[in-house]
Amino acid sequence: MKELIRSTDSVRLSFLTALLADAGIDALLLDTHTSIMQGSLDLLPQRLMVDDDDLAEARKILLEAAQVAPDHEWQP
């Protein structure tokens, strides 16, 4: 699994997960419970993960949907 994006915005992450699911890409949110436990301070982001084989396609989908800037620096 590779990290696609991280965010403290749970609504955005839900939207991105649905967007990827529509394209047939399974995504997994990590750090959800930790993020919830820290409360509403938005200090701990959740990570949206995809399978290694789906990473390039998932990045393309996010770019085409204008969910990341064209110059977004992806995690390695």
Domain segments of the chain: what residues?
A: 2-64
Q: Which residues contact 34 (CB under 8 A, 6 or more apart)?
A: 44
| Token pair of 51 as six digits | 């399978």
CATH assignment, 2-64:
3.30.70.790
Per-residue pLDDT of the chain (76 residues; tens, 9 = 90+): 998 988 888 888 998 999 999 999 999 998 876 655 555 556 678 899 999 999 999 988 988 887 776 766 766 6
Residue type at position 42: D
Distance separating alpha carbons of residues 8 and 60, to the nearest angstrom: 22
How high is the pLDDT of residue 39? 56
